[in-house]
Amino acid sequence: MLIAITRAVSRSIINCELTHLERVPIDLERARIQHHAYEETLRGLDVEVHSLPEEPHLPDSVFVEDTAIVLDECALLTRPGAVSRRPETESIARALAPFRSLFTVQTPGSLDGGDVLTVGRTIFVGLSSRSNQSAIDQMQTFLAPYGYTVKGVQITDCLHLKSAVTQVRTDTLLVNPAWIDKANFPGMKLIEIDPSEQYAANALLVGGTVLYQPAYPMTQACLEAAGIYPVLVDESELGKAEGALTCCALIFRKT
């Protein structure tokens, strides 16, 4: 059984943090409709969805992925790189406490969950404007007893590691080679995005199903050529807040 923790879209999302995009109007009602459809898609995959209430004064709080790393053995509460987002972890800690023992990244560490990609027992962490080496060092200390290896990965020109690379099969990654060096992932099969769709590397693997945005048909064709036929889910309104499919849920096994 998989569990997904999600959160309703904040009415203050228009005040979200932005790093690489220009601010444009966000249709709150449309964002909420799309996000509800995303949650229903997860339920349709037999995921037990725990939808947390809106945080009206935390604009980015729908992006719950950034607040925690959930593994089979434990969970790690992050210390988001944007100071405005650090209060988001409080309610996530309460939501995760029934399921996992919790560690917490401490100052001077900063870490966004969007910078974390777990592939087997290796955890890749993007060195970005939001996540730093101190957090990586702390993660290695926390997680080494469970058999994990934590590796820092330099990214360029994007917000998070998962803007540049995500997992689409046990042995396969979807990657934008303009934003990350493919040599960081030896032994993995790599599917490159179509270069005309620079944000197309973000896909969400749920069990054996890949969720994907309909905005990237050329890269979708690359996935299908590799035998991966994704379920399309439109979260384009949250994309205006630099959000993506992986950002909107914490998905983990019920143990």
Q: Catalytic residue positions?
A: 160, 247
Both tokens of residue 166? Answer: 């995500």
Q: What is the DSSP letter of 208?
A: T
Q: Within 13 Å of residue 234, how many CA atoms lie on the same side as its CB?
A: 10
CB atoms within 10 A of CB 226: 14
Helix (H) or strand (E) holding 155: none
Both tokens of residue 207? Answer: 């069990």
Query: Are 111 and 130 a contacting pair, CB within 8 Å?
Result: yes
Helix (H) or strand (E) holding 212: strand 209-212
Strand order in the sheet with 204-206: 204-206, 209-212, 231-232
Backbone region of residue 187 per phi and psi (left: phi > 0; alpha: psi in -120 to 50; beta: other values): left
Of the candidates 210, 215, 206, 207, the one whose C-alpha atom is nearest the C-alpha of residue 243 is: 215
Query: Are 164 and 176 a contacting pair, CB within 8 Å?
Result: yes
